[in-house]
Amino acid sequence: MQEVDLTNCDKEPIHLINKIQLHGCMLIVDPISQKIIGYSDNFQKFIGHSSRSPLGKKLNTYFPARICQEVYAVSTNTSIFREVTLNDQVFLVIFHNNGEQIIIEIELRDDSINIIEQQMQLSKIFAELNIAEDVAEMCASAAGLIKRFTHYDRVMIYQFDEHWNGKVVAESKEEALESWLGLNYPASDIPKQARALFLSQGVRMVSDVNGSSIPVHIAVQREVDFTKSELRAVSPIHIQYLQNMKVGATLTAAIVYNGELWGLIACHHYQKRCIDYYTRSSVKFLTQVFSTQLGLRSTNLNLEKTNRSNRTRARLLEKLSANWNITKALENNGEDFMKLTEATGAVVYFDGNLIVSGSTPDKDQIIKLLHSIKQSSAEDIFLTDNLEKRLQVTDLTNDIVGVLCIFMSTEQKDALLWFKEEITKRVTWAGNPKKSVVDENGTLSPRKSFEKWKQIQKGYSKPWKPYEIASAKAMREHISEIILHKYEEMLELNDRLKAVNKELESFSYSVSHDLRAPLRGISGFSQILSEQYFDVLDDFGKDALETIGRSTKKMNTLIDDILSFSGLGKKDAQLSEFNMNNLVEEVLDYLNPKEVYGNTDIVVQQELGMVTGDRAMIFQLLSNLISNALKYSAKAPRPLITIGKKSGNFFVKDNGIGFDMKHIEQIFGVFKRLVNDDYEGSGIGLAIAKRVVEKHSGKLWAESIPDGETTFYFKLNKSN
Amino acid sequence: MDRTLVLSIEDDQSDIALMTYILKEIRPSVVTKFIRDGQSALSYLRHPNFKANPPKIILMDIKLPRISGLELLKKYRAEKDIPQVPVVMLSSSDRNDEIAQSYSNGANSYVPKPRDLNELREKLTVIMEYWLEVNKN
């Protein structure tokens, strides 16, 4: 016995089998000589004619001249049928020209069929198909209607996927039969050339799976193409497949959508069953109507999906536009982002950050995957429904095997990714395993087919549909637009901020200036008072004068600092190279700590080295940092200040009162003071220090613990 | 008693009061005429009275209403028919561009206004002694 593996069928030239089924007979005519060049073994017996071999005879030996003329005139690729009475028996004669020969097939006319009644029945069916709301409902409805129309034991609607694997999407059956609804079949169950035949023939009947077939005798040394033959015998392998399922007869109609085989209407009977050509033609017509309706509804469904995706995108965009932080907005709306496609999970990869939603691989796996994608392709879009085949990537978490990756730019840096799980993960055997048809020879059965299908599907996700890709691409364009828009907005804001800042600087400059004159008046006249009238004042008056003096001094310092701070805004750093140790010495000379802070030990590390910068500014920076350190450590038991350099950064450290690091942002702001008036200061010193460092494209930061050490670090960028 | 006329172009009330006091203290014979904005000052400089009785020295604030000190100085120095008196620019700031501009516009000296009374005394004493000496007649 030939080993039965349905993939063998792929190679079997089934349209060239010179055999027909039992329920009819066949003649082959040469259109030029108009003589019979072939006949089926049962021809004479079938039509009740006792002549010898019909080979070489003219057709009018058997048929009326009217029919013969029509047969000779039949054009290629059309089938014509006529009712012909031969020897008091009504036959249906179906003939077509296959391009080389004319093939005449003769079947019995079923007397019980009333054509008018059948047409009425059909129009009812069409009406019922019309009211079905969606594809699923229409399939279910069609299965039931066809069952009622043809009386087969089981009618299934079978849908192909992109790899030609099939699935039973609707079924109508005799109650006693086990349901096959939801079953999946591998592509090999309906091999390629069988699919081609379905596509060209439309409806195909196998009247008796277990019956023998009739040989066709052909007088020419050439193969005869039986593609369009109604009676063509079935491939032995397919017969065995049907036998394994205990099927006695089948009727199959092709559902064609957009010129492609969408699926099949498969009717099974458990005894032999033959329906006549009229009924088959009706089924063919019904299937065509069904296909058209299906096309319409599929288009609607696709449109609906596209619309839904568009709505989701619009909603998402609204949220993204309203938020400055795009990553944050995407994070909060991950679900919507995922639902732009039919993915089970999605990831946004921005600036090295992953925003994950749904079912995806692990973060490490995603990073590795991105790397593999970049290595394999320079395109800005990458997609596959089988990562193992495409990138040799396996064993991802959540059984992810499909990915749609869109890079934000051709540099392949930031990316949007959608993921799909392996199909088989969510598909289960629909029937009850105990009741399923198991073939004792262990060859072919629905269960085996399912197992095989599972193997074939292993590693595959659902494919990426055009609307999903379009939606993902649109999302990228929108995000780019938003980013660009935000960038422009930011530039504009930045410009405005600069202008406002400048205005503020000149404002504070002139205000401070204008404050000088009245202050000079206050200070001058209070001094004149104390020079000229000190003796006539009582103690309180003297105190008051002194307070005025102190206050004006303090205010002068404040104005100095504000002027210095706002002055820094305008100035560019005047670079020169100088010795840092020398500068520190100068600052210490200027601050003269011995006078006020006699207790404080000041340690200056040697070898601070040469520095490039604006010497006057850095003088200011150091004097601010050191005077701060002096001020805040003064009350420590043994005040200690260290000025040094650590890993390229200068630092000023004290053991004073310290501060809580949660206020770190505040201390560099203008007029931000963390302490009370016990510690003198304008509150601008650190703001000035920060500005000096910024003028040198450097960095100023601090580390501190409350009641402990405080260290201010700064780093200067020489390039300025 | 000999009167030494000093023209001060100054808009700030407290500076005026302070300078009046100090100038009197330095040199009791000083009579200070104050003009409080640039436009009025220019009119006065062009007035026959100014030509008839010019001051020994002009103390000019840089920041003045209507016409700034620098502008006023430039216009004054451009006048050929009126007496050219030493001009000392006074300013609350010490910006380099201001200093340079003052000298190029014809100032004889530039003095930042000190914040301390004694310092102001010193400065004004030096200014008065030097420029009155230079401009004796």
Summarised one tens digit per residue, pLDDT across range A501-560 is: 778 777 877 777 778 888 888 888 888 998 888 889 899 988 888 888 888 888 888 888
What is the band of A437 on the pLDDT scale with cuts at 50, 70, 90? very low
Instruction: Give me the pLDDT at residue A12, please.
Output: 57
Locus of tokens 């193409």: A225
- Residue pair A253/A283 in contact (Cβ under 8 Å)? The answer is yes
Q: pLDDT tens across A321-345, in order?
A: 777 777 788 888 888 889 889 899 9
Task: State the pLDDT confidence band at A408, using cuts at 50, 70 and 90.
Answer: confident
pLDDT at A4: 43
B18 vs A519: CB contact, 8 Å cut-off?
no
Residue-level pLDDT at A585: 92
User: Which residues in A lie closer than 8 A to residue B15 (C-beta atoms)?
Assistant: 517, 520-521
Could A520 and B13 be called an inter-chain contact, meaning their C-beta atoms sit closer than 8 Å? no
Q: Which value, in Å, is the radius of gyration of the alpha carbons in chain B?
A: 14
State whether B115 and A523 contact (CB < 8 Å). yes
Q: Which pLDDT score, from 0 to 100, does residue A42 have?
A: 92
Nearest CA in chain B to A520: B115
- pLDDT for res A686: 86
Report the pLDDT value the prediction gives residue A467, as an integer from 0 to 100.
Answer: 87
ipTM above 0.90, yes or no: no
The two three-digit tokens of residue A325, written as one number: 């932080």
d(CA A625, CA A681): 12
Residues in B closer than 8 angstroms to A521, CB to CB, are 12-15, 17-18
DSSP calls for A420-477: EEBGGGG----S-GGGS---TTSS--HHHHHHHHHHHHTT-BPPPPHHHHHHHHHHHH
Task: Spell out the alpha helix ranges (H) of A92-201.
Answer: 115-131, 135-150, 192-201
Identify the pLDDT of residue A251: 94
The pLDDT value recorded for residue A28 is 93
* Model pLDDT, residue A446: 58
Domain B4-134 has CATH 3.40.50.360: no
Residue A681 has pLDDT above 70, yes or no: no
Share of chain A above pLDDT 70, in %: 91
Kindly list the residues from chain A whose CB atom is less than 8 angstroms away from the CB atom of residue B17.
Answer: 521, 525
Q: Which amino acid is at A624?
A: N
Q: Which residue of B has its CA nearest to A549?
A: B116
- Residues from chain B that touch A513, judged by Cβ atoms under 8 A, are 63, 92-93
Closest CA to A227 of A183, A179, A194, A180: A194
pLDDT reading at A3 higher than 50: no
For the segment A96-111, the average pLDDT, to the nearest whole number, is 90
Mean pLDDT of A634-658: 90
Whether the Cβ atoms of residue A45 and residue A53 lie closer than 8 Å to each other = no
Taking any CB pair shorter than 8 Å as contact, residues of chain B touching chain A are 12-15, 17-18, 21, 63, 92-93, 113, 115-118, 120
Distance from CA of A532 to the nearest CA of B (A): 12
Q: Taking a C-beta distance cutoff of 8 angstroms, is the pair B72, B9 a contact?
A: yes
Those residues of chain B that have pLDDT short of 50 are none
Domains of chain A: 6-15+112-302 (3.30.450.40), 16-108 (3.30.450.20), 571-715 (3.30.565.10)
Q: Tell me the range of A431-435, A492-496, A673-677 where mean pLDDT is highest.
A: A492-496
Tens digit of each residue's pLDDT (9 = 90 or more) over A215-257: 999 888 778 888 888 898 888 877 887 888 889 999 999 998 8
- Provide the pLDDT for residue A271: 93
Neighbours of A319 (CB within 10 A): 14
Note whether B117 contacts A519, CB cutoff 8 Å. no
At A402, the pLDDT band (50, 70, 90 cuts) reads very high
pTM score of the predicted model: 0.54
Residues of A in contact with B115 (CB under 8 A): 516, 519-520, 523, 556
Closest CA of chain A from B79, distance in Å: 31
What is the distance in angstroms between the Cα of B118 and the nearest Cα belonging to chain A? 9
Interface test with A, best of B20, B111, B117, B119 (most A CBs within 10 A): B117
The answer to whether the CB atoms of A523 and B117 lie below 8 A apart is yes
Instruction: Give the per-residue pLDDT at A447.
Output: 59
The pLDDT assigned to A461 comes to 87
Kindly tell me if the per-residue pLDDT of A5 is higher than 60.
no
- pLDDT for the residue A445: 58
Do the chains contact at B117 and A528, CB–CB below 8 Å? yes
Mean pLDDT of chain B: 88
Q: Do A521 and B113 touch (CB under 8 A)?
A: no
Choose among A285, A237, A304, A229: nearest CA to A20: A229
- Do A513 and B14 make contact, defined as CB atoms within 8 angstroms? no
Burial class (CB in 10 A: 0-12, 13-18, 19+), A676: exposed
Burial label, A99 (beta-carbon count in 10 A; 0-12, 13-18, 19+) = exposed
Which residues on A lie below 8 Å from B98 (Cβ)?
A: none
A556·B18 Cβ contact <8 A? no
Given a contact cutoff of 8 angstroms between Cβ atoms, the answer to whether A203 and A149 are in contact is: no
Buried b (16+ CB within 10 A) or exposed e, A454-479: bebbebbbbbbeebbbebbeebbebb
Q: What is the mean pLDDT of chain A?
A: 84
